Amino acid sequence: MGSADDDIAITPVDRAIERLRAIYRGWTRDTSVAQMRSDWDLAFAGCSVPVRREPVSAGGVDGEWLVPSDAPRDKAVLYFHGGGFRIGSIASHRDLAARIANASGCQVLSINYRLAPEHRFPAALEDALIAYQYLRDQGLHPADIAFAGDSAGGNLVLCTMLAARDRGLPLPAAGALMSPWTDLTASGASYQSRAEVDPIHQRAMILALAKNYLGKDGDVSNPLASPLYADLSALPPLLVQVGDRETVRDDATELAARAKAAGVDVALQVWDGMIHVFQMFPEIPQAREAVASLAAFLRNHLHIGHQRAPQ
C-alpha cells in the first residue's frame, strides 16, 4: 500500500506524462492514422473556460472562432495546433486555444489545416496562408493579427510568416511559439542530452514524423519546412516558450538565437522541469504562468488594454 508521501511525490507534470503515455500505449504498428487522431482528440476534448465557439470556413479551411465575452472584433490571434503534422485538430487544442483567448481578451481563430500523410508539405502551409488571407479579407489589418502555435503549429507560425514575407505580403504583429518544431533534420544536441528525461519524444519518432510530412524524397532542410535554416530577417516580434526536459529544446533555443542574430525582437522562456507543450495541461501551475505570459505578449503587440486573470 502506498503511503501519503508517495501521493505527495506525484507531481502535476507526472500526471500529465501518464496521460500522454496512456494514449501512446494504446497504439501499435497496426493502429490507423484515423484512430490515432480520434484518440488524441478524445483525450484532450473539452473546454475549461467560458468562450463562445463559432464554426467558420476560413477561405475554405475548416476553422473555429473562440471568442471571449468582451473581445474586440477588429483584432485576432490565428492559432495553429501541434501534432507533428499527423494528428491534432481544433478539437484537441480547443482548451489551450480558448485559454489563450480568455487570458488575452482576444478572439482566436483556430484552424484544421490539412494533415499528412494524405496531404504532405506544403499543404499545411498553404492552408495557413489561406486562413491569414481570410482574416485580412474580413477587414482586419495585419497589425491587428498575431499568430500562435505549438510544436508543428509553432513551425507553421514561422513558415507562414516567412512565406508571406517572401511573397511581399504584410506580416502580422507578432508570433507566439510553444515548443516549436523548427528543425526537421533533428540535429539539435538536446536530442541526446534530454533523451533520458523526455518521456515521449525521441529522435527516431521525430524523424519519422518529418518523413511522414515531407515524403521520402522531401528535403528536411527546406527553410519552409525547417525554419531554423531560413533567413529570419524582418520577422515581427516573437515569444518562444520551451520546456527544459524536451528533446526538441534546441529547436526553440537555437531558433531564438538565430532570430536575434537576424535582428528580430525575440523573447525566449525556458521552463525548468517542463515537458513538450506543457501548456496543454492547465493542472500544471507553470502552464498557467506560461499562458498568462503568452497572453501578456499578445495583448502588448495587439494593443489590447485590459488584463484578465489566468485560468
The reported pLDDT for the residue numbered 8 is 62
Q: Rounded to whole angstroms, what are the CA distances from 299 to 1, 244, 294?
A: 49, 26, 9
Closest CA to 37 of 88, 84, 85: 88
Residue 308 lies in a domain: no
What positions carry a catalytic annotation? Answer: 151
Q: Which residue has the cell 499527423?
A: 86
The reported pLDDT for the residue numbered 305 is 81
Residue 311 lies in a domain: no
Q: Determine the Cα–Cα distance for residues 136 and 158; give it in Å rounded to an integer.
A: 18
The tally of domains found in the chain comes to 1
Q: Dump pLDDT digits (tens) for 212-260.
A: 999 989 999 999 999 999 999 999 999 999 999 999 999 999 999 999 9
Residue 310 lies in a domain: no
Domain region containing 179: 4-302
The reported pLDDT for the residue numbered 2 is 46
What's the pTM?
A: 0.95
Residue 35 lies in a domain: yes
Where residue 24 sits, what CATH number does that domain have?
3.40.50.1820
H helix or E strand, kind and range, residue 243 = strand 238-243
Regions of the chain with pLDDT less than 50? 1-5, 309
Residue 64 lies in a domain: yes
Residue 307 lies in a domain: no
The reported pLDDT for the residue numbered 3 is 46
Q: Dump pLDDT digits (tens) for 164-186.
A: 999 999 999 999 999 999 999 99
